[in-house]
Amino acid sequence: MTSCYPLLFQPILKQKVWGGRRLARFGKSLPPDESVRVGESWELADLATTSASGGGGEAAHSVIANGLLAGQTISDAARLWRHRLLGHNIYERQCARSNSETPPFPLLLKFLDAAEHLSVQVHPSPAYAAAHADAHLKTESWFVLDAEPMGGVEPLIFSGLRREIDERSLREMIASHRVQDALLSQPAVPGQCHTLPSGTVHALGAGVLVAEVQTPSDTTFRLYDWTKEYNRPRRELHLEQAMQCISFGDAPPPAPTWCSKTDSVARLADTGFYTIDELRFHAGEHRLEGARCYALMGVSGSGTVEAPDCEPVAISAGTTMLIPAGCADSTSIRGEAGLRVLRITLR
């Protein structure tokens, strides 16, 4: 039986009307035509279907790029390694949820580059998802990698509605192209993490580039798409579905800042589905702990990930790597000063 080892994947690039060209800075091979706007790099995906307006409608299964399983998919690794991929408890829970001995990987990891505002959108609320079998909850976290003005517009994170906004006033503001007046916003600051539970109205602002960690749902309801502001093609809106999902009056959680018991690890997100910790290296080693499944996303600098019985695997800005539970407790990350890594832990 093939031993577990750290997995790299071939990025799945998605062209978007709001996309840009900055993902090349994070090692992504963009089309040479400078007019092609790439908004998303799907780093780790395991979806049987996607929405036509989101992922394009087809399935998305990340292809492994290294080692003995190169050319096979994350689904193939799951069939081969079973609980050694996810860890015993998570594997059993995911099997029960999916009614399958090969459950899909329970996270979707991306890099997003917004040269223009993304649509104002919301994901299904628990009540809506319970009543609609084709709708799925989506909690997501954005870690800001870069933020720069685009066309004179300050880079912003839109997250939540002002407390005085109700359904009637929101409909009026959408109809009169004043939706930005209804949204809470804050400057996008590199290094900050913003977590958006299902039901939170949100939009990624122009000029912001993020690493995104989310539950594996592609169900998105658009309220507003900035067609007047950017003179871009009209896309489908989902106003009635969105209104059933919005958390009116609920302030979004504050963005975490760097705070920890040491100067090398900081908890940035803590949800019922995953946690995110930022690892900062001043030259040295970080050892993973326990038979748990981890994902790593490189933020800056360079280093290596070392596991038993395989060559060290390089990690740098833009690298996404999956550490199976079967080898996690013998795996370490080594980096020089400047290496920063997001460590995502399944729950």
CA distances from 162 to 208, 253, 282 (A): 22, 13, 41
Considering the candidates 84, 222, 280, 343, report the single residue annotated as catalytic: 222
pLDDT category at 66 given cuts 50, 70, 90 is very high
Bridge partners (DSSP) of residue 108 are 214
Domains of the chain: 7-243 (2.60.120.10), 265-346 (2.60.120.10)
For residue 145 the two structure tokens come to 């990698």
Q: Is 307 exposed, middle or buried (0-12, 13-18, 19+ CB in 10 A)?
A: buried
The per-residue pLDDT for range 117-175, each reduced to its tens digit, is 999 999 998 889 889 988 888 999 999 999 999 888 899 999 999 999 999 999 999 99
CA distances from 212 to 65, 80, 128, 276, 340 (A): 21, 27, 23, 11, 16
CA-to-CA distance for 299 and 280, rounded, in angstroms? Answer: 10
pLDDT category at 281 given cuts 50, 70, 90 is very high
Position 318 pLDDT exceeds 70: yes
Give the pLDDT of residue 258.
59
CB of 326 closer than 8 Å to CB of 84: yes
Active site residue 222: yes
Bridge partners (DSSP) of residue 280 are 340
Q: Is the whole-model pTM more than 0.85?
A: yes
Give the pLDDT of residue 250.
73
Closest to 169 measured CA to CA, from 183, 155, 185: 183
The per-residue pLDDT for range 180-239, each reduced to its tens digit, is 999 999 999 999 999 999 999 999 999 999 999 999 887 899 999 999 999 999 999 999
Position 86 pLDDT exceeds 60: yes
CB of 346 closer than 8 Å to CB of 86: yes
